[in-house]
A and B are shown apart, each in its own frame.
Chain A
Amino acid sequence: MTPELDPVIHAQARLRVVVTLNALGEGDSITFPGLKDLLGMTAGNLSVHLGKLEEAGYVEIVKTHRGRTPVTYVALTRRGRLAFEEYTAALRTLLDTTSAPPSGA
């Protein structure tokens, strides 16, 4: 029923990650703990989802140091931004064409 929706983004937890990262300005990134707190996810759970998003080339993870403490920054790539735009566009057309009751679970 939803063949054109990107499966990488379509999982609920990953969608929330992508939406949050998309709210950052272009060229901005957020620390891993900052993102974790914003989403209210556990570190392990977030890591798994970020791994999948990174695999798809949607997310860029940069590990650096602030002083002596290691910091991990997360950002949406151009490709990720585009994929999210296409995802929302596909969602809207889906809503327009099927005004019938939702076909969810």
Chain B
Amino acid sequence: MLRSLTVFLVVATLSGCLTVQFGEPYDKVIDDELNSFQKSTAEFLKSMQQNSGNAKSSYGSDESKKYYASSSASLSNMMLRASLLSDRECPSQRVAKIATPALTPSVERLDRAEAGLGISSSNNEGTFAGMNCSTVAIWSLQETHKNLEADHREYGRLSAGVAQLNGLSIDQSVRVALTTVRANK
């Protein structure tokens, strides 16, 4: 077995297969765009807190309109770029099986928290079918960003707690997206 593997690798090397790569290639534009998105979101949230109590922090303010328009466009662009990196669906189901012991406590905690509050978030896990791994990570960030706008629209302003929750969620999603995009750097 070992001998066959060695022979195979020798043949592969001599045939010119000097390096292999699985998954999507690294895209510096997406990397830069993610950093820029995170920075502008942090600045926006800080500005909303500094202006809390006046019209500048409202959902309808010019600053809010400008931020949501530009950040949504940036996320759409990243989704498009990421989708063009590879048309191979992210094989995360296989990793899910291996990661189940690590994953279960988090999912159970989510279930318990929802049950405790009498809430059930619907399951739309099929919506990421066909996406490569980078696109899945950016899509999750896009969903998190939609929550920020939905909160702002619903409450009119972002309270300190709501801003903190959205800031934390977006930071986590950006970190996961960056790590995914940089896997093959």
Q: Is B a genuine binding partner of A?
A: no
